[in-house]
Chain A
Amino acid sequence: MIETLFAPFSRPYLARALVEAVLLGALCGAVGVYVLLRRLAFLTDAITHTVFPGVVVGFLVSGRAGIVPGALVCAVIAAGLFTAIAATRRVNEDAALAVLLTAFFGIGVVLVSRQRSYTADLTAFLFGHILTVDTTDIVVTAVVAVLACVVLVGLGKELLLRAFDPEGARAAGYRITALDLVGNMLIALVVVAAVQAVGTVLVIAMLVVPAATARLLSDRLGVILAVATGLGMLGAWLGLAVSFEASRGYGVRLAAGATIVLVLVACYALVTLGQSIRRVATRAAR
């Protein structure tokens, strides 16, 4: 068992994958708490979909090296656009997001479908290929992680007030739209960092599930943040180990990114189950 958890990572490509996955797990766990508190799961999903055509165009223009810049351009545009939509308050936000989400995603699919290696590329863009990440990808993720730390530590109290009591924050003189723009940009950057490793589709799970699990376990913001970050890292590590062991030991090919997500979801399910059992037990004890 212990062997399974450590041994594979002596191979350089798996060690790189592990570093990338664990970094990403921590990053997504922490930023996911912001997503949870601001109820931005749908907006995050919309950002992941709008990033998709950027990934495709970047790849078409300059191959692998073009993916992150392409994603970045689209992510920044999406974050700015969605902040503006939320600020006008005149349009129905959900509908506007849904329209943009599908439109951008459609553009991405149309572009990919003109490629010869259509399905292979599509799969990689959507679900990532964590086993082939290189040092550049790790550096990108590390830079985003540092930025996330700076934002969450530096603006933590303002973001908290804005999430809890927007009217109160506005009355205190804070610029809500500016704060939202910072928050949305942060989400967009996390999506960009995750593009190579887990793809644009799975990153939403890495953002939402650890924070949701942590919320089940605690009422305290500090604890939620710590648990979500820890869970993100643990899920990344376990997921990689499980996917490697399955393919090496049992000849079952499990996509690494998806396995990470499944491990995270299993944690969520376990916690939910544990809490239901405890609730039933306390009721029975009375």
Chain B
Amino acid sequence: MSKPTGPPAIVFDHATIAYGRTAALERVHGTVRAGEIVALVGPNGAGKSTLIKAVLGLVPVASGSVTVLDRRPAEARRQVAYVPQADTLDPDFPVSVAQVVLMGRYRRVGWLRPPGRVDREAAAAALAAVGLEHRAADRFGLLSGGQRQRVLLARAIAAQPAVLMLDEPFNGVDAVSQEALLGAIRNLTARGAAVVVSTHDLGLAQVSCDGVCLLNRRQFGFGPPDDVLTPDTLRAAYGGAALELGDRGLILAHS
């Protein structure tokens, strides 16, 4: 899968990311370019969410640097959209699907002003892009987990970001919903957005992404999927259990 890629959108330069004094993730080094989808993979606690939060400017970079759209992460926020895991949100919250998607427009609307017609139209178009326009009036919490995840993606699309960060968007999502999500994500990259997605699905990382960043408290590889997802690096990153990649699929073997 080779396609022309754009300018660097996110540059990690030997970045170490720490909560307080303990480093959660060390020496991340690589580039995500405009138009690319990069997968963050690694076992639980590897630091995937941590890396996403560093790009969002929510966790400080202790040494090295993270550069987002040529700026420091906190300064680039207006052009970065974040898709949290749907199950971290309260399903009882009285907010409609349309209202959630409209939240993606808030930063553009600015302080003290209500969203206008342009914003409503952008939100409606974003909801249509994930195929859920018929659920606009429903309460967010009434949707299934996969549908909620699609709504959150629509919220990010409505923000028209240059960089999109998704934290495990495919957890508990069926194959059809996953395809719908991926289709909408590819639409964004086709328009020049850079996308980073954390996932436990190595097959998805290999088949559907342009690059892979393999982590476990430090970086084990960052580059094209076929270079990173080799048995040796996977064994090194995942420890005891070794994973091997066949032609298209994965074989899990214990060493």
Q: Across the interface, do B82 and A172 meet the contact criterion of CB distance under 8 Å?
A: yes
Tell me whether A286 is interfacial, beta carbon within 8 Å.
Answer: no
Tell me whether B88 is interfacial, beta carbon within 8 Å.
Answer: yes
Q: How far, in angstroms, from A184 to B80 measured CA to CA in the complex?
A: 29
Which among B56, B57, B94, B99 has the highest number of chain A CB atoms within 10 Å? B94
Tell me whether A171 is interfacial, beta carbon within 8 Å.
Answer: yes
Query: Which residues on the A side are within 8 Å of B96 (C-beta)?
Result: 219-221
Tell me whether A164 is interfacial, beta carbon within 8 Å.
Answer: yes
Query: Which residues on the B side are within 8 Å of A158 (C-beta)?
Result: 106, 111
Query: Shortest CB–CB separation between residue B142 and chain A, in angstroms?
Result: 8
Query: Which residues on the B side are within 8 Å of A221 (C-beta)?
Result: 94-96, 99
Q: How far, in angstroms, from A37 to B111 measured CA to CA in the complex?
A: 21
Q: Which B residues are within 8 Å of any A CB, using their own CB?
A: 56-58, 74, 77-78, 80, 82, 84, 88-90, 93-96, 99-100, 103, 106-107, 109, 111-112, 114-115, 139, 165
Q: Across the interface, do B95 and A164 meet the contact criterion of CB distance under 8 Å?
A: yes
Give a binary string over A142-173; 1 marks a CB under 8 Å from any B CB, 0 the rest: 00000000000011111011011101101111
Q: Across the interface, do A157 and B114 meet the contact criterion of CB distance under 8 Å?
A: yes
Q: Across the interface, do B115 and A157 meet the contact criterion of CB distance under 8 Å?
A: yes
Q: How far, in angstroms, from A219 to B142 measured CA to CA in the complex?
A: 10
Tell me whether A218 is interfacial, beta carbon within 8 Å.
Answer: yes
Query: Shortest CB–CB separation between residue A248 and chain B, in angstroms?
Result: 41
Residue of A nearest to B75 (CB): A173
Return the contact of B80 from the options A165, A170, A171, A219 (Cβ within 8 A).
A171
Q: Across the interface, do A172 and B95 meet the contact criterion of CB distance under 8 Å?
A: no
Tell me whether A224 is interfacial, beta carbon within 8 Å.
Answer: yes
Q: How far, in angstroms, from A215 to B94 measured CA to CA in the complex?
A: 8
- With contacts A164-B100, A165-B84 taken as known, whether A170 is within 8 angstroms of B58 at the C-beta atoms is yes
Q: Across the interface, do A173 and B94 meet the contact criterion of CB distance under 8 Å?
A: no
Q: How far, in angstroms, from A167 to B89 measured CA to CA in the complex?
A: 10
Interfacial residues of chain A within 212-240, with CB under 8 A of chain B in the complex = 215, 218-221, 224
Query: Shortest CB–CB separation between residue B81 and chain A, in angstroms?
Result: 8
Q: How far, in angstroms, from A160 to B94 measured CA to CA in the complex?
A: 10
Q: Across the interface, do A164 and B84 meet the contact criterion of CB distance under 8 Å?
A: no
Q: How far, in angstroms, from A221 to B103 measured CA to CA in the complex?
A: 14
Residue of B nearest to A163 (CB): B93
Q: Across the interface, do A160 and B95 meet the contact criterion of CB distance under 8 Å?
A: yes
Return the contact of A165 from the options B89, B107, B111, B115 (Cβ within 8 A).
B89
Return the contact of B106 from the options A157, A218, A220 (Cβ within 8 A).
A157
Q: How far, in angstroms, from A155 to B112 measured CA to CA in the complex?
A: 6
Shortest Cβ-Cβ A-B pairs, 10 listed: A173-B77, A171-B82, A171-B56, A219-B139, A154-B112, A219-B94, A161-B103, A221-B94, A164-B93, A157-B106
Residue of A nearest to B96 (CB): A220
Residue of A nearest to B165 (CB): A171
Given A165-B89, A224-B94, 13 extra CB contacts under 8 A? A37-B93, A155-B111, A157-B114, A164-B93, A170-B56, A171-B58, A171-B82, A172-B82, A173-B74, A173-B77, A218-B94, A220-B96, A221-B95
Residue of B nearest to A150 (CB): B112
Residue of B nearest to A39 (CB): B90
Query: Which residues on the A side are within 8 Å of B90 (C-beta)?
Result: 164
Query: Shortest CB–CB separation between residue B136 and chain A, in angstroms?
Result: 13
Residue of A nearest to B102 (CB): A157
Query: Which residues on the A side are within 8 Å of B111 (C-beta)?
Result: 154-155, 158
Residue of A nearest to B106 (CB): A157
Which among A160, A165, A170 has the highest number of chain B CB atoms within 10 Å? A165
Query: Which residues on the A side are within 8 Å of B56 (C-beta)?
Result: 170-171
Query: Shortest CB–CB separation between residue B83 and chain A, in angstroms?
Result: 9
Interfacial residues of chain A within 162-192, with CB under 8 A of chain B in the complex = 163-165, 167-168, 170-173
Q: Across the interface, do B103 and A167 meet the contact criterion of CB distance under 8 Å?
A: no
Q: How far, in angstroms, from A112 to B89 measured CA to CA in the complex?
A: 45
Query: Which residues on the B side are within 8 Å of A157 (C-beta)?
Result: 103, 106, 109, 114-115
Query: Shortest CB–CB separation between residue B177 and chain A, in angstroms?
Result: 20
Residue of A nearest to B109 (CB): A157
Give a binary string over A77-104; 1 marks a CB under 8 Å from any B CB, 0 the rest: 0000000000000000000000000000
Q: Across the interface, do B94 and A171 meet the contact criterion of CB distance under 8 Å?
A: no
Can you list 21 pairs linking A and B with CB atoms under 8 Å apart?
A154-B111, A160-B99, A164-B90, A164-B95, A164-B100, A165-B89, A167-B58, A167-B84, A167-B88, A168-B82, A168-B84, A170-B56, A170-B58, A171-B58, A171-B77, A171-B165, A172-B107, A219-B94, A220-B96, A221-B96, A221-B99
